[in-house]
């Protein structure tokens, strides 16, 4: 009897977990401007960073190159904004979600243009099987974020080239100090707020965990 009940509880937890990918923004304290947000499970945290688990999710992406991160992000953002405003083969509008993720090469030089990939997350109905409209603009394409563990450093204020460099270096130092292994060639700059929001802004830097995540108490 007891074993049966345990089995049922485990099954229910699994069902809940597999649904928890994109959902109601009231579930996440720092996701306040869109109806739906990317959801995650917190694996562990210390004073410096968190480890999160994300399920596999569907995104639309655009690449942009510039000497300036802010310019590239704006360019990529506008392409994706046109896509969700109807620049797709179904001619439909798609709700904005959060966060917006920017994939950034780690070794970017100030003397060369860098390549940035900006991505918007699809709302839950598209995550859960509804046909995804094809982009009509060249250089806008559909992507999949595989299920993954992520090291996360959160910060307030504005996401800029300077803050991205500062917080990514800071997180790398923390991870290296505890011999964490992670994918070192790129990081992700993650933004939750529109430029119109002034207070309580929330941004993150992510590195993808390689192998088993580590999360000891900070020394
Ligand atoms: C930019 O990055 C994307 C994704 O990593 C890649 O597919 C694309 O070829 C890159 N573009 C340039 C010009 O390097």
| CATH number for the domain that contains residue 137 | 3.20.80.10
Whether residue 213 lies inside any domain: the answer is no
**What whole-number distance in Å separates Cα of residue 194 and Cα of residue 27?**
19
Residue 2 has pLDDT above 70, yes or no: no
Position in ligand 1 atom list of the atom nearest CA 63: 1
Tell me the residue range of the domain where 171 lies.
Answer: 2-208
Number of domains in the chain: 1
The reply to whether 215 falls in a domain is no
Mean pLDDT of the region 141-165? 95
Task: Specify if 219 maps to a domain.
Answer: no
Gap between the Cα atoms of 12 and 18, Å rounded: 10
Q: Which atom of ligand 1 lies closest to the CA of 61?
A: 4
User: What distance in Å separates the CA atoms of residue 112 and residue 28, rounded to the nearest whole number?
Assistant: 38
Residue 165 resides in a domain? yes
Q: Is the predicted pLDDT of residue 45 greater than 80, yes or no?
A: yes
pLDDT for 200 beyond 70: yes
* Pocket residues: Cβ below 6 A from ligand 1: 63, 65, 115, 117
> What integer pLDDT is reported at residue 218 of this predicted model?
57
Q: How far apart are the first and last CA of the chain?
A: 46
The atom of ligand 1 lying closest to the CA of 186 is 5
* Ligand 1: centre distance to CA 63 (Å): 6
Confidence of residue 23 (pLDDT cuts 50, 70, 90): confident
- Could you give the CA distance from residue 135 to residue 140 in angstroms, rounded to a whole number? 6
Q: What is the pLDDT of residue 219?
A: 54
Q: Average of pLDDT values for 101-111? A: 88
The answer to whether the CB of 49 falls within 8 A of the CB of 68 is no
Ligand 1, atom 1, residue with closest C-alpha: 115
The torsion angles phi and psi of 16, rounded to 5 degrees, stand at: -65, -45
pLDDT over 90 (residue 163): yes
Q: Is residue 104 a contact partner of residue 186, using CB atoms and an 8 Å limit? A: yes
| In a domain? residue 216 | no
Please, is 174 exposed, middle or buried when counting C-beta atoms within 10 Å of its C-beta (0-12, 13-18, 19+)? Answer: middle
In a domain, 37, yes or no: yes
pLDDT, mean of residues 116-124: 97
- Within a domain: residue 59? yes
Evaluate whether residue 218 is within a structural domain. Answer: no
Structural tokens at position 190: 């993650």
pTM of the model: 0.88
Name the strands in the sheet holding 203-208, side by side, starting at the edge strand that comes first in the sequence: 41-45, 50-54, 148-155, 203-208, 186-191, 100-105, 114-121, 57-66, 140-145
């Amino acid at each position: 009897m007891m074993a049966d009940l345990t089995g049922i509880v485990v099954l229910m937890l699994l069902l809940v977990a597999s649904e928890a990918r994109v959902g109601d923004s009231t579930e996440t304290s720092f996701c306040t401007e869109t109806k739906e947000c990317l959801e995650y499970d917190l694996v562990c945290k210390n004073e410096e960073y968190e480890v999160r688990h994300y399920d596999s999710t569907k995104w639309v992406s655009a690449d942009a190159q510039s000497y300036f991160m802010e310019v590239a992000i704006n360019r990529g953002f506008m392409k994706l904004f046109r896509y969700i405003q109807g620049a797709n083969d179904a001619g439909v509008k798609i709700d904005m979600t959060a966060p917006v993720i920017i994939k950034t090469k780690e070794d970017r030089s100030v003397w060369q243009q860098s390549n940035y990939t900006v991505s918007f997350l699809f709302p839950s109905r598209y995550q859960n099987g509804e046909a995804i409209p094809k982009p009509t603009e060249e250089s806008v394409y559909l992507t999949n974020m595989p299920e993954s563990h992520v090291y996360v450093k959160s910060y307030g204020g504005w996401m800029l080239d300077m803050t991205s460099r500062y917080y990514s270096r800071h997180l790398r130092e923390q991870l290296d100090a505890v011999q964490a292994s992670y994918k070192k060639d790129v990081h992700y700059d993650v933004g939750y707020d529109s430029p119109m929001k002034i207070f309580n802004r929330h941004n993150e830097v992510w590195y993808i965990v390689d192998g088993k995540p580590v999360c000891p108490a900070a020394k």
